[in-house]
Each structure stands twice: as C-alpha cells, then as structure tokens.
Amino acid sequence: MEEGSGILKEGFLVKKGHVVHNWKARWFVLLQDRLLYYKVVGGKKESSPKGRIILDGCTMTCPCLEYNRPLVIKLKTKTNTEYFLDFCSREERDAWALDITGAIHAGNPVQVQQLHRMKNSFKLPSNISLNHIVDKMHDNSSGIKLTPNTEQGSTYKESFTGSILVDWLISNSFAASRLEAVPLASVLVDENVIKPVGARSVEAMRNGDLTEQFLDDSTALYTFAENYKKRTTSKENIHLNIIELSGTILKQGFLIKQGHKRKNWKVRRFVLRADPAFLHYYDPTKEDNRPVGGFSLRGCLVSALEDNGVPTGVKGNVQGNLFKIITKNDIHYFMQASSKAERASWIEAIKQLT
C-alpha cells in the first residue's frame, strides 16, 4: 500500500473540488514526497486514495486569499494543477504549511536553509508607503473584506480579525512573516488607519507598547477608522443566542459526528468554549461561519465507547475512537475522533467544563 513509506502527518482538511467546485472534507496523509487524500464514507476512510498531490516542484501560497475563507493555502504542482486546502484553525494551517514546505524541499537541505534565511532577512521595501498600503486595503476586489464578527455578545457588522489583517499583509508582500506583519499592523493602529473594536483589541491598545498594541489573533477585532460602526444584536442573530458564542475558545478541530435523524456520519468542525461552557459544531464545507448546532456542557456526561463491536445507538460502518456526550436534556451525541489520543484529549477538555 502507498502509505508504507512513512507518514509525516495526517488529518482532516477541507479541499476544493476540481470538477464540481464545492468544498469537501477529506482525510489527508502527508508522505515524504506526496500528499494523499481519501474519501471518508460513513465513519470509515476508504482503503485507496481518491487522489494524490506530487510535492516535487510544488509551490505553496500561504495564506491564499482567493476565496472568502481566511485559512486556505494553495498548492500548485509542477504541471500547474492547483489545489486549495482549508483548515480548522490558524495553528493547524501553519503546522501543515510548515510540514508540507519541509517535504517539498526535503531533498534539498540547502534550499530549506535559504528559505529560512530569506524569510528572516526580508525588510519592508522603502518604496512602499503607508498610503499605498491604505489604498490597497480599501480596494474593492483585493482589499480587506469587512464581515460581521461577534465578541462578548456584541456584533460588529463591518470588522475583520487581527490574524486576517496579518495574512493579508503577508499575501500582498508588505511583510514576509507574521513577525514583521505585527509591528506594521501596530503602525496602522498608531496612525489611526484602523482601530480596535471589542474588548480584547481595545484593551491591548490601551495597555501595550507599540509592539504589543496589535493582536495577531482570530478573536481580536478591528475596523477601518473612518467608517466605524457598531451594531448590537439584530433580529437575525437573536435566534442564535449570542451569549453562547462569547466564551473563550479552548479547543477546536475536526470530528466525525453521527446525525440525529438520518444517523449518517459527517465531518464537522467542533469548537469548545468556556464561560459559558458550550460545544458548537460547524459545517466546514460552507462559508457561513454560523454553527449548525451546539449545546451547553453544564451537567453533560461524556465517555469513550468500546472499540470492539458497534456500540448501542451507533449506526453504520465506523472505525473506532468513538465517544458519546449525553446532555442534561438526555440528548445523545455520538462523535468519532481520528485517534485514541485525540479522543482522550477531547474527553479531558470537555470534562473540565461539565
């Protein structure tokens, strides 16, 4: 089997289809020289790969801002085929990007060194003025997209996160790395080009020196200084109890979940929050950043399920590492992690909050 040659990394990623251009969750396996991806049917990975990306001569764009998804990378093969991969968190994206880059240049240690050297020696070209950055930020097609973001119960209709601005600065070659982009973003705050909205970013600006004024963070919110608008919860948000989504994110990642009605298994991005303690799940194939479901963890019971045989309540062809959460209202949720360690880590994190 193709996988025998040493797995460097594996896990769920969301891939843009080549024929039908929709996004689908696939199980990815990174080997020394290629990236394989598999369909997961029911709760089981198919035995042969659906496709493979040959890494020799591949180039990577990270972050790639061609889609309305902030965590995409693009891989372009030697034969000019483009693959777009989406991740569940910035940490996850950066870890995969680093490992894939390592695999692309593995045969050439000199190149790996050069890569690091280039990254570290890059300075902002003196011919790039602040005005140029500002103009480009406001550009309708390639500028910063303003979207509704929620923090601590308030929705800021036209805002963006700190990490999205950092990604944008890097992808537009205003900075070579996150380390360089943060001081540049701080200058934008200092010059009143952008301003913080919401408690986290306002607090940082008040208390930090110039280098700590700006947060490269997916929960710190900013907006353009001149069209600052704050919006309290509107009708469309009331049904999605805003308080639920205001807690601190403790853990996020992809798990496979059994549906309540049709009992079919689907990959969902799970986000665990504390104060208040909630577990929400999102459909990673959709661009809409609203949860498709979620529940309070107060009084929940969580337990691992036996790996031999199919446990009661579980339907379909699953491959183990299952766990179950029973809510206070006696609703049973069945989830499948990708490994025993991952299952243990989710159970442990949830237990702390029940």
- What does the pLDDT read at residue 349? 97
What does the pLDDT average to over 262-288?
A: 91
Per-residue model confidence as pLDDT tens digits over 292-339:
999 999 999 999 998 777 788 888 878 889 999 999 999 999 999 999
Residue type, position 339, single letter: S
Structure confidence at residue 313 (pLDDT): 87
Write phi, then psi, for 185 (nearest 5 degrees): -65, -35
Q: Give me the domains of the chain, ranges plus CATH numbers.
A: 2-120 (2.30.29.30), 130-224 (1.10.10.10), 243-351 (2.30.29.30)
Residue 249 has pLDDT above 50, yes or no: yes
Q: For 42-62, give one letter per residue: b (16+ CB within 10 A) or e.
A: bbbbeeebeeebebeebebbb
Percent pLDDT > 90 in the chain is 46
Q: Which candidate, 171, 99, 91, places its Cα nearest to that of 137?
A: 171
User: Over 90: is that where the pLDDT of 236 sits?
Assistant: no
Residue 91 has pLDDT above 70, yes or no: yes
pLDDT for 293? 92
Mean pLDDT value across residues 81-105: 89
pLDDT of residue 222: 95
- Over the stretch 138-147, which tens digit does the pLDDT of each residue have? 888 889 999 9
Cα separation of 257 and 334, whole Å?
Answer: 6
Q: What pLDDT digit, counting tens, does each position of 156-200 carry?
A: 989 999 999 999 999 998 888 888 888 788 878 877 789 999 988
**pLDDT value at residue 181:** 87
Residue 107, pLDDT > 70, answer no
Helix axes 178-190, 130-137, angle to 10 degrees: 90
Q: How far apart are the first and last CA of the chain?
A: 43
pLDDT value at 289 more than 80? no
Q: Are 198 and 221 in contact (CB under 8 A)?
A: yes
